[in-house]
Structure 1
Amino acid sequence: MSIQDSNKQLCRDYFKAFLARDTAWMARHIAPEFVRHDPGLPFEVRGPKGVAELHDALLPAFPDMTLPLLDFVAEGDKVLVRLKVQGTHTGAFGDMAATGQKIDIDVLDLFQFKDDVLVEHWALLDNLGMLKQLGALPQ
Structure 2
Amino acid sequence: MAMDAPELGRGLFHILVTGDPALAAQVVHEDFHNREAAVSPTACSTPGPAGVLASGAWMRSAFSGLRFTVLGIVHDTDQVWVRLRMQGRHTGPFVRFRDGALDQAIPPTEREIDFEQIHALGLRDGKVVTHEAVRDDVTMLGQLGVFPPAPASLLRMVSWRLTGRAARAAAHVSAQAADAAAQL
TM-score (normalizing by structure 1):
0.88
| 1:113 equivalent in alignment to 2:113 | no
- Structure 1 equivalent of residue 20 of structure 2: 22
Measured in 1, the distance between the counterparts of 2:7 and 2:29 equals: 17
Q: Secondary structure at the match of 2:72?
A: strand
Shift, 1:129, TM fit = 1.1
What is the distance in 2 between the residues matched to 1:83 and 1:40? 21
Q: Tell me, in whole angstroms, the C-alpha distance in 1 between the residues paired with 2:65 and 2:129.
A: 28
Question: In structure 2, do the counterparts of structure 1 residues 67 and 77 end up closer, same or farther at CA, with 3 Å as the change threshold?
Answer: same
Q: How far off is 1:40 after superposition?
A: 6.8
| Residue 132, structure 1, aligned to residue 142, structure 2 | yes
Amino acid at match of 2:111: Q
1:1-33 Cα distance to aligned partner (Å, 9 max, x none): xx9x81111111222222110111112321221
Name the structure 1 match of 2:108: 98
> How far does residue 39 in structure 1 lie from its aligned partner after superposition?
7.3
Question: How many Å apart are 1:81 and its aligned residue?
Answer: 0.6
Distance 1:75 1:55 in 2: 26
Letter of the aligned partner of 2:39 in structure 1? L
**CA offsets 1:86-120 (integer angstroms, 9 cap, x no match):** 11101111111100111111100011111211111
Superposed, 1:1-139 pairs within 5 Å as 6-38=4-36, 41-43=39-41, 45=45, 46-94=47-95, 95-138=105-148
2:16–2:52 Cα contact (<8 Å) kept: yes
Across the aligned residues of Structure 1 and Structure 2, the Cα RMSD in angstroms comes to 2.0
SS of 1:11 mapped into structure 2: helix
Judged with a 3 Å threshold, the aligned counterparts in structure 2 of structure 1 residues 105 and 40 are, in CA distance, closer, same or farther, namely farther
Unaligned runs of 5+ in 2: 96-104, 150-184
Structure 1 residues 93 and 63, CA, compared in 2 at 3 Å: closer, same or farther?
same
Paired residues in the alignment total 136
Partner of 1:124, secondary structure, is: strand
Contact 2:65 / 2:89 at 8 angstroms: preserved in 1? yes
Q: Which amino acid aligns with 2:70?
A: L
Identity across matched positions, percent: 29
Q: Which has the higher helix share?
A: 2
State the 1:37 CA deviation: 1.3
Give the whole-Å Cα distance in 2 for the aligned partners of 1:42 and 1:50. Answer: 10
